[in-house]
Structure 1
Amino acid sequence: MTPRDPHDADAAVADGALPPQASAVPAVRPEPDGGDLGLEGGGDTVWGKRYRALTLGIVTVVSLIAFEASAVNTAMPVAARALDGVELYAYAFSAYFTASLFAMALSGEWCDRKGPLTPLFTGIAAFAAGLLVAGSAQRMWMFVGGRAIQGIGGGLVIVALYVVVGRAYPQRLQPAVLASFSAAWVLPVIVGPLAAGTVTEQAGWRWVFLAIPVLVVPPLAVMLPALRALPPSERSAGMNRRRILLALAVAVGAGLLQYAGQDLSWLSLVPAAAGLALLVPCVLRLLPKGTFRAARGLPSVILLRGVAAGSFLGAESFVPLMLVTQRDLSATAAGLSLTGGGLTWALGSYTQSRPRLEPHRERLMGLGMLLIAVSIATVLLALTDSVPAWIVAVAWVIGGYGMGLAISSGSVLLLKLSRPEDAGSNSASLQVSDALGNITLVGLSGVLFVTFGGGDIAATGPTASHQPAAFGAVYVAMAAVALVGAWVTTRLRPESR
C-alpha cells in the first residue's frame, strides 16, 4: 500500500485546470524558525523534541494500517471459509480499495476547507469501526461491509497525514517524514503474515481484526497537542460537492470494472461498459488537466505515481503464484522472496531524503523507474528451469529500491509544487492516481494471464502443466509500463516562466 488522489481546491480545479501558479509555489511557507507549529528552534529534526510526538504518532498510525494490510492476506482464506462466503472472497479486498478511492477524494476537500485534524481522527475511528465489524461478522456480506468501512477510514487518514506533513513540518524536514512512511511498513511487512498466521491458528481469525482497534488510542493521544497547534485552513468556503460526487462515481466505476474482471465472459461486458462510462469522464475531471498527456510539472508527478505503483504491483501479484506453480517452491518460500523488496523500499526512501540529493530529485525518480523495469524483466529469467529461483529475490531487492526512490520522491515533489491551500487536493490526486494505477494495471495483468493460458493453472493448482507464456506476458507488459514511467520522469520539472 503505498504509498494517490484527485482534488484541487477551487471550482477551476474541479473542472480539471490547475491554477497557473500552482507549480511555482511551495506547499509549505518557508519559516526561519522551521515550520508552522509556532515553536522555536529551526535546527531540529523529525525525531527532535519539537516534532517527536507528532512523528511518533504518524509512524504508529501508518504501521497499524500496514500491519493490517499484510495480516489480512493471511487471515482472509480462513475467514471466507468460516463465513461460508468464498464466492465473495475477492470483494473483501475490492471493497476496501474502492471505498478508499472515494474517501481519499473526500479527505482532500475536507482538509483544504477545515484542516486535517477532523478528517484524520474521523478516518482512524472509521478504520477501527471497520475492524470491529469485520471481526464480529456472522455473514460474509457483513465482513465485506466491514472491509468497506475500513477503506473509508484508510482513505481519510492517508490524505490527512500528507496534509499534516505539509503544514506541520518545514520543507527541509518533509523528505525525512515521508521516508518514515515507507519505513513504517518494513516491520509489519516482515512480521505481519507470521503474526497473523499464529493468531489465526491459536486464537481464531477474528482476533486478527478485533485486536487492532485498542491500539489506535495511543497514537491519537500522542498527536493531538501538535495537531491542535496547526494553523487553521485559509479556505472558508464549503466543500466542492460536485468533486465529491465525481469521486464517488470513480469508485463505483472502478468497482464495476473489478466485478467484470472476475469473469471474462460476454455478460461481463455490461458492467465493464458501465464502469468505463462512469470512470473515464470523471477521472478526466478529477485529476489535474494534462495528467494523461504527461504535461510538465504537477500533472506528470501525479501520473507517475499510478504508473509506478500499478506496474510494480501488477507484476508482484503474480510472483508467488509463478514460484509455486512453475518452480515448485512452497508458499512460504515464495512469499519470503518478496520480503527483501520491502526492506530496500525503505532504503530507497531513506536515500531520496538526503538533503544533498534534493537538486537531483527528478533524476532519482528516473533511476527508480529504470530499476523497477529491470527488476520485473529479471523475473522473466526465473521461468527458465536452468536459472535458480532465488534470482526473483534478487530482482525484487532491486525493484523495491527503485520504488523507494520513485514513490517517496514523488510525494516530496508534489508538496513542493503545490500551494499550501492546495496540498490536500493535490495529495488526494496523488493517492487516487496510485489507486487507479493499481486497479488498471493489475486488471490488465489478470487479463493477459488468462489470455495466455494462466486459467488452466488457476483451475488445477500446483500440479498443472507449466504455462510460462502466461507469466511472461504479465512481466513483459509491466516492464514496458515501467519504461514508460521512466520517460514520464523527464516531464517532472515545470516549464520555466
Structure 2
Amino acid sequence: MTTDTGGAQTAQATPGILSSAYVWITIGACALVFLGAFESLAVTTVMPAVSADLDGERLYALAFAGPLATGVIGMVVAGNWADRRGPVAPLYTAVALFVVGLLVAGLAPTMEVLVAGRFAQGLGNGGLMVALYVVVARVYPRSLHPAIFAGFAAAWVVPSLVGPTIAGAVTELWSWHWVFLGVVFLVVPALLMVVPALRGLSREGDASAPWALGRLGWAVLAAVAVLGLDLVGDVPGAGPVLAAGAAVVALVAVRALLPAGTLRARRGLPSVLLVRGLAAGGFFGAQVYIPYLLTERYALSPTIAGLSLTGGALAWSVAATVQGRLGARLSSALAVRIGAALVFAGVALALAAAVFTAPVAVIVVSWVVAGVGMGLLSPRSSALTLEMSAPETQGFNSAAMTVAESFGSALALAITGVLFATVAEAGDPFVAVFALAGAIALAAAVLAPRVVPPAA
C-alpha cells in the first residue's frame, strides 16, 4: 500500500509542460512555431496585393517556392550543427535569419528584394523547427514529449484558422508591409522566453561528429535547381529546355536525401514519402493561386479571399482529429489512399470552377475537400514512416519525410510559376496551374496503394 501510494504521489508530482519549471520555454517555443506557421499561411493571402503593388506577377510563385527550397538547407544545416554543438547556436542563428527575412520582405521596394527576404525566412524557419525539436529532446523529460509536441501541433493549427483572415484585414486596414514587420515585434519576446532554459545546452553535442557535407551539398544543389527552374523559365527560346534541365537536376539532387527507391515508387516506405511529396505538391501548388483567383477574377477583398483558405485549414484540422480518434479502426494505408483521392478531387473541383467560372462557394467547397484529404493523409503518412523505420533510421527517415514534403511543394510551385507566366500571354493561367496541380495530385492518388510494403 505504501509503495503504491508513493508511486501515485510521484506520478502526481511529475511537472507538466505548463508547470513553473517549463512554462516559459513552453510558451516561447510554441509562440515561435506559431509565428513561423502564421507567416507561411498569411503570405498566401496577401501575396496578390504584394504582386500588384510591386508589379511582381512573374515572381509570384517563386515567393512561395523559394522559402520551401531554402528551408531544406536550413533543416540539414541545423540538424548537423545541433548534433555537433548542441541546439543553442543553431536556434539563435535560425531566429536571426527569420527576423532578417521579415525585415527585408516588409521593407522591400521591389518584388526581387521581397523574394530575397522570403529566401532568408525559409532558411531560418527550416532551421528553427529542427533546432526546437532538439531543444525539446534536451530540456523536457521523455514523458512530456507527447504533450509539448501536441502544443506544437496546436501552434500550427491556430494560424491556419485565423492567419489568412488576420493577414487580409491587416492588409486592408494598414498595408501588406505590416504582415511581415508586425511579426518581428513578436518573435523577439518569444525567443526571450526560451533563453533561460537554454543555459547549459551550448556545449551539449559531439564536436567530433563530422559535418554532413555531402548531404548538405545535395540539399543546396536541390534548392538552387528549384530556384533556377523558376528563374530560367522565361529565357527567350531556351527557357523551357533550361527549366526542364533544372527540374532534372533537382530530382537527382533530392535522391540523396531520400531512402533508396523513393523516386521509383518502390513499395513500402519509399512510396509513403513519394505520395506525401506529390500530395503536398498538388495541394500547395494549387492553394497559393486560390486567393489570387478570387481577388483577380472575382474581385474579392483579401480578407474574404483568405476565408477560403481558412475553410480548408479547418477541414484539415477536423479530419486530422477524427482520424486520430479512429485509431486502428482506420488503417493508415487506407487513410493515405482516401486522403490522396480527396486531395485530387478537391484540386479537380477547383480546376472545374476556374474553367466554368463557377460561384465562389464552389471554390470554397473544393478547398474544404482538399483539406480533408490532407488531414487524413499527413498524420497517417507520418505514422507509416515511423512504423517502417528501424530505431537507427528513425532520424534519417523523419528528416526525409519533411524533405519530401517541402521539396515536392517547392518543385510544384516553381513549375506552376513558369506555367502561369507562360500561359498568361495566350490563355487562362489559372486553368493551366490547376490542371498541373491536379495531375500531380492524381499521381499521388494512383501511387497511394503502393504504401503497403511487399508481402514477406
- Could you tell me the TM-score, scaled by structure 2's length? 0.79
Code of the residue aligned with 2:28 in structure 1: it is G
Q: Deviations over 1:272-303 (max 9, x none)?
A: 26524642332222222111122344323322
What is residue 26 of structure 1 aligned with on the other side?
none
Code of the residue aligned with 2:104 in structure 1: it is V
Please report how far the alpha carbon of residue 241 of structure 1 lies from its aligned counterpart in structure 2 after TM superposition: 0.9
Code of the residue aligned with 2:321 in structure 1: it is Y
Please report how far the alpha carbon of residue 354 of structure 1 lies from its aligned counterpart in structure 2 after TM superposition: 3.3
Instruction: For 1:88 and 1:356, locate their aligned partners in 2 and report how far apart those are by CA, in whole Å.
Output: 43
Code of the residue aligned with 1:305 in structure 2: it is R
Q: Deviations over 1:141-166 (max 9, x none)?
A: 55443332222101211333455567
Code of the residue aligned with 2:362 in structure 1: it is I
What is residue 309 of structure 2 aligned with on the other side?
338
What is residue 482 of structure 1 aligned with on the other side?
441
Instruction: For 1:441 and 1:84, locate their aligned partners in 2 and report how far apart those are by CA, in whole Å.
Output: 23
**What SS does structure 1 have at the residue aligned with 2:238?**
helix
1:455 equivalent to 2:425? Answer: yes
1:249 equivalent to 2:215? Answer: no
1:190 equivalent to 2:139? Answer: no
Code of the residue aligned with 2:290 in structure 1: it is V
Instruction: For 1:139 and 1:383, locate their aligned partners in 2 and report how far apart those are by CA, in whole Å.
Output: 30
1:360 equivalent to 2:331? Answer: yes
1:280/1:163 Cα in 2 relative to 1: closer, same or farther (>3 Å)? Answer: same
Please report how far the alpha carbon of residue 220 of structure 1 lies from its aligned counterpart in structure 2 after TM superposition: 2.7
Relative contact order, higher structure (CA 8 A, sep 6+): 1
Q: 1:239 aligns with which of 179, 191, 211?
A: 211
Instruction: For 2:155 and 2:320, locate their aligned partners in 1 and report how far apart those are by CA, in whole Å.
Output: 9
Counterparts of 1:3-14 in structure 2, within 5 Å, are: none
345-354 vs 394-403, greater mean Cα deviation: 345-354
1:69 equivalent to 2:40? Answer: yes
Code of the residue aligned with 2:311 in structure 1: it is G
Instruction: For 2:350 and 2:326, locate their aligned partners in 1 and report how far apart those are by CA, in whole Å.
Output: 33
Q: Deviations over 1:416-456 (max 9, x none)?
A: 555666555434322322232123333444566677x5534
Partners of 1:448 and 1:474 within 8 A in 2:
yes
**What SS does structure 2 have at the residue aligned with 1:293?**
coil
Code of the residue aligned with 1:369 in structure 2: it is A
Counterparts of 1:45-444 in structure 2, within 5 Å, are: 55-72=26-43, 92-136=63-107, 142-163=113-134, 168=140, 176-177=150-151, 179-185=153-159, 186-200=161-175, 205-224=176-195, 236-261=208-233, 263=234, 265-269=236-240, 271-272=242-243, 275-276=246-247, 278-323=249-294, 328-332=298-302, 333-354=304-325, 356-357=327-328, 360-383=331-354, 388-418=359-389, 423-444=394-415
**What SS does structure 2 have at the residue aligned with 1:330?**
coil
Please report how far the alpha carbon of residue 310 of structure 1 lies from its aligned counterpart in structure 2 after TM superposition: 0.6
Code of the residue aligned with 1:239 in structure 2: it is W
Instruction: For 2:397 and 2:19, locate their aligned partners in 1 and report how far apart those are by CA, in whole Å.
Output: 29
1:286/1:405 Cα in 2 relative to 1: closer, same or farther (>3 Å)? Answer: same
Instruction: For 2:387 and 2:199, locate their aligned partners in 1 and report how far apart those are by CA, in whole Å.
Output: 24
Instruction: For 1:75 and 1:386, locate their aligned partners in 2 and report how far apart those are by CA, in whole Å.
Output: 22
1:383/1:394 Cα in 2 relative to 1: closer, same or farther (>3 Å)? Answer: same
Instruction: For 1:354 and 1:296, locate their aligned partners in 2 and report how far apart those are by CA, in whole Å.
Output: 27
Code of the residue aligned with 2:80 in structure 1: it is E
What is residue 4 of structure 2 aligned with on the other side?
none
Please report how far the alpha carbon of residue 84 of structure 1 lies from its aligned counterpart in structure 2 after TM superposition: 8.4
Please report how far the alpha carbon of residue 342 of structure 1 lies from its aligned counterpart in structure 2 after TM superposition: 1.5
Please report how far the alpha carbon of residue 309 of structure 1 lies from its aligned counterpart in structure 2 after TM superposition: 0.9
1:481/1:152 Cα in 2 relative to 1: closer, same or farther (>3 Å)? Answer: closer
**What SS does structure 1 have at the residue aligned with 2:256?**
helix
139-148 vs 94-103, greater mean Cα deviation: 139-148
Partners of 2:343 and 2:371 within 8 A in 1:
yes
Code of the residue aligned with 2:228 in structure 1: it is L
Instruction: For 2:385 and 2:13, locate their aligned partners in 1 and report how far apart those are by CA, in whole Å.
Output: 23
Code of the residue aligned with 1:129 in structure 2: it is V
Instruction: Provide the alpha-carbon RMSD of the alignment.
Output: 4.1
Instruction: For 1:115 and 1:407, locate their aligned partners in 2 and report how far apart those are by CA, in whole Å.
Output: 29
- Report the count of equivalent residues: 442
Please report how far the alpha carbon of residue 389 of structure 1 lies from its aligned counterpart in structure 2 after TM superposition: 3.5
